[in-house]
Structures are given as structure tokens and as C-alpha cells.
Amino acid sequence: MPSTRPLVAVIDWAKARLGDPEALVEREVIGSAADVKTIYCESDRDFTEEVCNAAALIVWHNCPVGAEGIGRLRGCRAIIRNGVGFDSVDAAAAATRGIPVCNVPDYGTEEVADHAIALALALCRQLFPLDREAKALRWTIPEPGRLRRLRERSFGVVGLGRIGTAAALRAKALGFRVSFYDPYLPNGVDKAVGVRRVRTLDELLAESDVLSIHCPLTAETRHMLGARELGLMKSTAYLVNTARGAIVKKTDILAALRTGRLAGAGLDVVEDEPLKTAEEAATPNLIVTPHAAFCSVEGRGEMRATSARIARAAVLGEPLENVVNGVRR
């Protein structure tokens, strides 16, 4: 006999599955409030009638949901982005349909901050060149001038939200001189956290030995760092991005590394990820990880449980957490 319960559809990416087919975490949290089913899609073009009739969608990050797909939804009470960033969902289009879009802003705070610091340390301490040297059965230090004392280096943070604050405190504990730029924070945040505030991005770019990006991808921040901005940085500086790839224009950061305009970059995210060619992958002084900064057993379980809790509230008509597009039901 067909179920009469509402459906929560977990939309996983067909090309690289991130959850599990049984959606065990989601089922445990949602319980008897709804049926739960994992459905694999490359984009909203793959939405079936079952998806379009679902009461709530939980969407993994690589499956874009645009205005066309949202327009096909019937009776959807919430779209939950299974992660911090929600740029893969057309939140404005959802708002016009009265559908709340929610995210999970806090699940990977420790992991992403740790990953940013790991990339920064790998660059500052030249771990990968030293690893190659040692494995080539040699015992000399390549480019020893790049190895500098952390206490003499400045660490710049773009965006002092949850993850930016966690990264700033870690950098501070390591001895970096930490500064940040965030025009949306009230006065006094710098005093509470114990780091220095600068009032313009250009000032932060010019002074930072390591620049770590921790802001969301929006119309304002897309390509926020291009050729002009990278040109303001020291030629000895490193750039770390664990936020969203398109904040940094890919062609410009790769060109800066190839010409030696920057000393190095550690990118967990790249514009139009993943890297597309062997030439891009061979860019000198570049460390790349595959959008994995958020990953940990603990963090992934926490993220999925939070998304499921929001989906459960949606189908029960309860108040929703973490609404990002202003729609309240």
C-alpha cells in the first residue's frame, strides 16, 4: 500500500555520491514524520515527479537548483542546503514561490578552519617542496628564503564569521599577527576576539603575508580577488581559499602563480571546480584539495543531522532554523 506520509527527498550528486543510499542519518532524525529517499541528480533538470512533489528537499552541494527546477516544485515547504554555502540554490527564485531556503552554517567550523591553517602552514613551511627534495634522495633545502618565522608574519582574514573567527584564533595561537576585513561586523568585534581590524580590503591585501578567505559567495564577492587585487599583495605572500572558488578569479590566480607575482596558493575550492587541464594542475607553487575542507566523520554526521532536523520541522509546520532568503512559514 503506498505511503501517505510526506516525502523528504535527499538530492545527492550523481557524479560523486556524498551521502548513503539509505539516508540512515536522515531517517533516524526525521523518524515517522516523513518518508526519506535518496535521489541522484546532476542538476535540477533531473528532478523526477517524485522530487517535484516532495515536501522538503535536502540538497548536497554539487547539485545546482535553479529557477527552472524550483518552478516545478509543488508543495515544497523548504529547500535545505546540506552545508554552509547556498549559492548553488536560487534563493531569490525560491522566495518568489514562498519556499524557505535554509543552510547549515556551523557544522564544519572546526574542520574548515583547521584546513585553512594546514594549507597556510604547508605553504609557509614549504612542506611539499621539502617532501619532494627528501624523496629525490637529496638533502638540500630548496629556496630556503621562503622559510620564515611565523611570529614575524601577518595573517589576514577576509570575513570574520564563524569559520573566519576560528581560523583567526588558530593563527593567533601559532604566533601570527592577525588582522581581518569584514565591513558587516559591528565595532568592537576586534576587541572581543583580540585581533586587529582594517577598514579596507586593499589595506589587508597589501599587508598580509598569508591571506585566508572566509566569506560567502555573493554577487558582491564574486571575483572579489582578481588581477588588480592580487597585484596589491606582496610577491612573497600566500593566498588560502577554503570558502568558495569564484571569490578568486581562477585565470588571474593561476597567472599570478605562473609569473611569480605570488609566492603560492592553497586552494580547497577553485572557480568552475575541479581543475580542468593538466596545465592548470601543473601551476607552480599551488596546493589544491578537492573541496574537502569540511570533511570529517563527525562534521558530516552533524551536518546531515541538522539538515534532517530542519526538514522534519518543515513537514511538521514548525519554525525553521537558518533561513537565508527571508521566507518564514
Catalytic positions are 244, 273, 291
With contact defined as beta carbons under 8 Å apart, do 213 and 159 qualify?
yes
Placement of cell 547556498 in the chain: 86
Contact indicator for 307, 26 with CB cutoff of 8 Å:
yes
Helix H, strand E, coil C: the string for the chain is CCCCCCEEEEEEECCCCCCCCCCHHHHHHHHHHCEEEEEEECCHHHCCHHHHCCCEEEECCCCCECHHHHHCCCCCCEEEECCCCCCCECHHHHHHCCCCEECCCCCCHHHHHHHHHHHHHHHHCCHHHHHHHHHCCCCCCCCHHHCCCHHHCEEEEECCCHHHHHHHHHHHHCCCEEEEECCCCCCCHHHHHCCEECCCHHHHHHHCCEEEECCCCCCCCCCCECHHHHHHCCCCCEEEECCCHHHECHHHHHHHHHCCCCCEEEECCCCCCCCCCHHHHCCCCEEECCCCCCCCHHHHHHHHHHHHHHHHHHHHCCCCCCECCCCCC
Q: Which amino acid is at 318?
A: E
Rg (CA), the chain: 22
